[in-house]
Amino acid sequence: MAEEAIRRRERLDRGVKVRADTVYAISSWKEMMFLLAPRALLVIGLLCAPLIAPNLYWQRVICIFGVYALLAIGFDFLAHFVGLVSLGGALFIGVGGYISGICNHYYGISPALSIPIGTLAGAVICTLILLPTLPLRGVYFAIITFTYPVMAERIICAAGILGGTDGIPGLSMLPSTWVNQYLILGIVIVSTFVLRRLVNEDIGIVFRGVKDNDQAIRASGISITYYKAVAVFIAALLGCLGGAYMAHLYGWVGISLFAMDFSVFPLVATVVGGPGTLVGPVLGSLILVPISEILRAFGALRIVFYSLIMVLFILFWSEGLLNWARRKYEQFEHWVRV
């Protein structure tokens, strides 16, 4: 009883956080583990996923998860840090995939070069395409970005260009299933941490200003259009990288790269995982992609499933899984001596 009288419960994060979510005072290994454990769990979990995949089919699902995760990270970044709700994920995937496929099929460039070319050139092209729409915000920007991949698909079919409905077959494949998986998982991990670091730098403050008070940013002499274009380029870079990767994952590109799934899924994954976190969309993709594969037999009805999930989370769990888990984790209490 005497020992219990000089002990009390304390929330662990009170001894760690000083001024903000990115400023800490660490005085013990327990507090260090408090900060590192969630990050280590994410990295170790993703890197171990290929080792526990039961067969080639689920190894391919891991690759698809990586592509959707990149799209979802880009969507979350644009929507919750810049204020641009983009439904143009299919445009990024399609442009990146077709450029990489053209480089490999017509010019004989190896995937080691065609993927970076498709990523960079695709991001530039997508940014230029979306440049006239940057003054728009909210639903207007979302509608315009949603129509671009639909238009691209119809133009390819009607004009018969780029292989028409048959696409461009016979592309070089990536070396092995292990390379396929760890390449995309490594890209997801690096992209997540780099983007989280970016939004906490000075440029991240400007991005938030563009979202919350663009008049103040404009009054400061800062070009809003320029920073919106930079943000769109970053999101397009992630999406085009996913499209270029898919071109050599399947050895083929076609109009299916402009499918509606690539535009709708990032929105649902962000709502489920936790908006405004950048890691939440990865968690949402990790949950939804396997479920989506299980429901593949229902075809286009998967979109209905995504819609129901999104409505339920918005109505009853709007903070998302990661925000809820982080709140519970940071409220963890332990016994300390007084």
In this predicted structure, what is the pLDDT of residue 336? 67
Q: d(Cα 260, Cα 42) in Å, to the nearest integer?
A: 28
* pLDDT for 245 beyond 90: yes
Structural domain boundaries, residue 174: 2-337
Structure confidence by residue, pLDDT tens digits, 306-316? 778 778 887 88
Assign 1 a pLDDT band (cuts: 50, 70, 90): very low
CATH code, domain carrying 227: 1.10.3470
Structure confidence by residue, pLDDT tens digits, 18-64? 445 555 555 567 767 777 888 888 899 999 999 988 888 899 999 99
Q: d(Cα 45, Cα 29) in Å, to the nearest integer?
A: 22
Residue with tokens 């259009």: 225
In this predicted structure, what is the pLDDT of residue 23? 56
Q: How many domains does the chain have?
A: 1
22 Cβ contact partners less than 8 Å away, ≥ 6 residues apart: 200
